[in-house]
Amino acid sequence: MNRITTTRLKKMKQGGEKIACLTAYDASFAHILDAAGVEILLVGDSLGMVIQGQETTLPVSLDEMIYHARAVRTGSEKALLMVDMPFMADATPEQAMHSAGRLMKEGGAQMVKLEGGSVLLETVQALAARGIPVCSHLGLLPQSVHKQGGYRVQGRDEAGALDMISDASAMQAAGADMLLLECVPATLAAEITRAVEIPVIGIGAGPDVDAQVLVLYDMLGITPGKRPSFSHDFLADSGDISAAVAAYVQAVKGGSFPSSAHSF
């Protein structure tokens, strides 16, 4: 069975069809998500926190990302497989090329996700020129949590909003195939989504983006400690994991998630 492609996702945006995305870290969960109709499986470096119990995503290695990507690839058939570039694996364009090559060859990734805006312009251009699909992650950047002063909403002030709009356009022009906006005011996320032709995934970015993503363990209510305000426990509503994932997909497709309670 053919996997979903970047071309298919762009057509979904053009047609106004919402896209469902969830993180996945192993073959068993990947199978459940795939069967429920999740279009994008994101092997997130969030595994450092929800799988390994780390305080941040920073300790995750490239080898660990490849290991989990390979497992998710094995457990799925239809969904597009997107994999995070771990911290400092894209420090230079040359290093990013090497890291992305390994994620694709060894991990089976169809797309890599990079955290950051204009500072990565040359890197995105280089990857795109070599046929490597890229998702540019803007807004709250977990790998930059120490620089950003914690897990805070980004783009609330005019200067920050203008910078993010500029970065979004620059990433598209550089060859990015997708954007991800994390913890961004809903009005700003909507403006960026309208301004670019590539699909925009949101997490804590309101309802008016093209796609939604959550950390799988958050939407199942099994992440230890306090969970993000933009998430929702679908397992509590559904009773079993397969039903919870199906409910999430339906809520994203139908526009009932996220609500204003899950937005900034």
- Report angle CA 122, 128, 130 to the nearest 5 degrees: 105
64 is catalytic: no
Which CATH number fits the domain that encloses residue 226? Answer: 3.20.20.60
- Residue 150's pLDDT band, with cuts at 50, 70 and 90, is low
- Environment class of 159 (CB within 10 Å of its CB; exposed 0-12, middle 13-18, buried 19+): exposed
Q: Specify the DSSP element, H or E, that contains 124.
A: helix 121-129
As a whole number of Å, the end-to-end CA separation of the chain is: 39
- Name the more confident of 148 and 110: 110
Is it the case that residue 205 has pLDDT exceeding 80? yes
| Coil, helix or strand at residue 227 | coil
Residue-number span of the structural domain to which 22 is assigned: 6-262
Is residue 48 included in any domain, yes or no?
A: yes
Q: Cβ(186)–Cβ(207) under 8 Å?
A: yes
Average pLDDT over residues 40-48: 97
Is residue 1 included in any domain, yes or no?
A: no
The domain total for the chain is 1
Task: Round to whole Å and give the CA distance between 35 and 242.
Answer: 9
> Contacts from 199-203 at CB under 8 Å and sequence distance 24+?
199/9, 199/10, 199/12, 199/13, 199/19, 200/13, 201/19, 201/21, 201/40, 201/135, 202/258, 203/230
Average pLDDT over residues 27-51: 97
Return left, alpha or beta for 222; rule: phi > 0 is left, psi -120 to 50 is alpha, else beta. alpha
What global pTM score does this model have? 0.96
β pairing state of 200-203 and 211-214: parallel
Average pLDDT over residues 230-256: 96
Is residue 90 included in any domain, yes or no?
A: yes
Averaged pLDDT of the chain = 95
Average pLDDT over residues 75-83: 98
**Catalytic option among 158, 182, 191, 197:** 182
- Residue 146's pLDDT band, with cuts at 50, 70 and 90, is low
